[in-house]
Structures are given as C-alpha cells and as structure tokens.
Amino acid sequence: MRIILGVTGGIAAYKAADLARSLVRDGHEVQAVLTRSAEEFVSPTTFAALTGRKVLTNLFEPSAAIEHIDLAQANDLLLVAPATANILAEFAHGLAGGFLSTLYLAFRGPVILAPAMNTNMWEHEATRANMETLRRRGHVIVEPGVGLLACGTFGAGRLAENDGILDAVRKTLNPGVRDLEGETILITAGPTQEPIDPVRFISNRSSGKMGYALAEAALDRGARVILVSGPVALDPPRGAEVVRVRTAVEMRDAVFLHLEPATAIIKCAAVADFRPAAPARQKIKKKGAPATLELEPVGDILAELGRTRGERLLVGFAAETENVLAYALRKLEEKNCDMIVANRVGGEGAGFESDTNEVLLVMRGGVVVEVPRAPKREIADRILGQMIRLRRTAGVTR
Ligand code: CTP
C-alpha cells in the first residue's frame, strides 16, 4: 500500500524514523512529509534513506506546487506521527498553511493520527475539542501513552509505541483482517473458586474481562476459540466453545481435555495457588469452627503446559504488584512460555475488574513491549498481534 507519513515537530519525531523503516519492511511504499518544525528535530536525509524517496518538506518549492494534489490522489493512507497540538488544530479547523495541512485537505482516504505533546497541552480544552472534531470526522487516533515526558513532567502525552501505531495501520488498511484463520486458541479466563465448605470458597478479584476480550478478538480475526472459563458474570463472545469450570483442578482437567486441537494457548485465568486441604462436606457452623484453615498447593497448570506443549505457542499472564519486569522474566523462563503478559495489579485502571489495562509483553528472545493503558479489547489485539509476530520471526511452526 502507499502511505504518506507526516512527521511534525516534537521530540518524538526521531521515533518516526523507525516507524518509516517498519512500514517499508511491511511492504509499504512510504512517502515522508516533514513540516518545517519537524526539520528542527530530524533530518529529511534520514527519511529519504529509509524510504528510498525524496522527502517533501515545503509547499512553496516550485516543484511542489501541485504535488500535494497528486500525492493525495496516489496514496492509500495518511499517517501523522508524531502529531503536534498545532497540526491537530490545523487539521481540525481546515487551515492550509503548510504542505502537510494542505495535503490533508486534499486527501480523501483514511487518516491515522498519533499525537504527542506535553500533558498540559494534551489536556487543554482547545486540544480536547480539536480531538473530538477529528474523531467525529472518523480519523483513527492512536492515543498517547502515560509516562515521563521530555519536558520532565509525568503524564499523558507520550507518543504511542510504534507497535501500536503499526497495528492501527494494519487494521485500517485491512478492516476485518482474518490473520488467525486456521489457528485454534485455547484461552482460560476468570478466577477459580476453591471450596471451604458447600457455601464458602477462596477466590480472587479476576472478572474474566481480559480473557473474554481475548476470545472475542481472536474470533474476530478468524481463530477457533476454546474458552475455559472460571465463574464470571460475562456473556461469552458468540462463536466461542465455552467450557465452564469452578476449581483449579477442574480447569486443569478441562485444559488438557481440549488441548489436542490447540495451536496456541493463552493462560489468562487467575488460578488459585492453594486450596483448602479438606473442604467440609457440611456447612461449617460458627460454633466450634476451626480458627485456622489448612491449605494445600494446587498444581501450576501453566508450568505443566510448559513441559507438554509441544510446538504450541504458549502465553502466560503474571499479576504482580511490584518488580513487574523481573518477575515476568522469571515466569517466562520457569514456565517455558513464548510470552508473558505482565499485569500491574492494584493500581487504578489496570488489572482485575477494570475495563482497561496496561501491560508489559515480555517475549522469548528478550523483547519487551510496553502497552499503555487502553480498553481490554485493544490490549487483546496487541497481544494477538505480537503472537503472530512471534510465530513469523522465530519459526514456531505447527
Ligand atoms: N497459573 C496456572 N496455575 C496455577 C497458578 C497460576 O496455570 N495454579 C498461571 C496463570 O494462569 C498465569 C500464570 O500462571 O498465566 C501466572 O500466575 P500468577 O498468579 O501471576 O503467578 P504464580 O505462578 O502463581 O507465581 P507467584 O505466586 O509467585 O506470583
């Protein structure tokens, strides 16, 4: 496909060089357009070398006089990364002062914008109103992440990771892409419940939302999905083959019973590590109840899968409150996984019960991808995207 990559002036402009390279690697023809302020941060020569094309920078060069119209007609997608507050304002209001904003007005195809700016500028009412206008116009916005910004403040405004931008490009160019056709993905979701007596149990805060979002995303991308689910209050996505379980032992048995057709396994469930050693057969009465509860360990399903998975891709989760990366790396190794999705739990807007999540994807081979806070469905697509990449790059074949 033919893509116009607009680069505007911000510290994050250097990241656009890598983006250009990835787009070219993915087989696209990339035409870079740098605004005047972008040139303060990066050199057109870099982009010319990476894309193999002359970089356009100024509307008023004689040869560029009608170039914006030709370009607008010849390209399939306009991607602006990073997009400054200024270019977003120009786009929102239809100003045509520079080459990129003029090109924007002449362009009729899909537009993807990846904003990056200081937190206060991002949160300013003017920027918010401009974003609203651009969203309503149907443009795809790759939300900026939260983090330490170049200006020294901490907050929203950091350019989204290139992986997220590339996923948006892929999705925009191939809506309804079915890149998991032929895969059978076994997904576990939700908590387990370990009975103490017939009415009480030990469990955890897992809502099942992440696992169900994964199931939905995998189905949309053409996979067959076997969803082994602990007790949750969610409707399973249409098309999933659902196996309902309650305890960790039931989950283990269900996983191994349905393992055979699976080409990939995602162990999203929050499985108990311990269970009451001797659950009472009758309801324990207040009077005379033991003061302590004896627990026994439950086998680790993921570790067992790590030993027996064969050629299947294996993705585990790690719910951590501290040392997220270090623990994730250890679990990746110890449980012989291809990827660990490390979940920071306990914070706001992430982990159990929340509709959003922020995770680290820790991959075999040492690659770590940080996925900033996003709806769980978006996180699910990022996980699946990385799984496909793992398959391609490391030759994990079926
Ligand atoms: N898991 C599992 N079976 C268990 C416990 C955990 O399959 N009995 C899986 C989970 O589904 C998850 C991964 O192991 O994919 C990590 O779970 P987590 O609770 O984060 O880690 P633990 O292995 O239990 O380690 P720790 O308690 O030290 O954090």
pLDDT along the chain (398 residues), means of 10: 95 96 92 96 96 84 66 91 98 94 94 96 96 95 86 85 90 84 97 97 95 96 97 93 98 98 97 96 87 94 96 95 92 97 78 83 90 87 92 56
CA angle 207, 340, 240 (to 5 degrees): 50
The pLDDT score that the predictor gives to residue 176 is 76
Measuring CA to CA, which residue among 236, 103, 171, 199 is closest to residue 384? 171
Tokens of residue 299, six digits:
């086998």
Question: Ligand 1 mean position to 189 CA, how many Å?
Answer: 12
Calpha distance 371→373 (Å, rounded): 7
- In Å, the largest CA–CA distance within the chain is 93
| Distances 336 to 169, 208, 332, 343 between C-alpha atoms, Å | 32, 24, 6, 18
Residue 318 CB less than 6 A away from ligand 1: yes
Atom of ligand 1 nearest to the CA of 317: 15
C-alpha–C-alpha distance, residues 187 and 254, integer Å: 11
Other CB atoms within a 10 A radius of the CB of residue 277 amount to: 10
C-alpha distances out from residue 94 to 56, 90, 100, 218, 286, Å:
20, 6, 11, 39, 72
Give the type of residue at 69: I
Catalytic residue numbers?
A: 151
**What letter would DSSP give residue 208?**
S
Q: Is 267 in the pocket of ligand 1 (CB under 6 A)?
A: yes
Going along the chain from its start, the domains and CATH numbers come out as: 2-173 (3.40.50.1950), 184-394 (3.40.50.10300)
Give the model's pLDDT for residue 66.
Answer: 67
359 in Cβ contact with 351 (< 8 Å): no
Nearest alpha-carbon partner for 363 in 333, 334, 343, 392: 333
The pLDDT score that the predictor gives to residue 63 is: 59
C-alpha 245/C-alpha 203 separation (Å) is 13
Locate the ligand 1 atom nearest the alpha carbon of residue 315 and give its number.
15
Distances (CA, A) of 235 to 31, 192, 224, 232, 328: 45, 17, 17, 9, 30
Q: Pocket of ligand 1, candidates 255, 268, 301, 359: which has the most ligand atoms within 8 Å of its Cβ, to mutate?
A: 301
Task: Report the pLDDT value the prediction gives residue 59, as an integer from 0 to 100.
Answer: 55
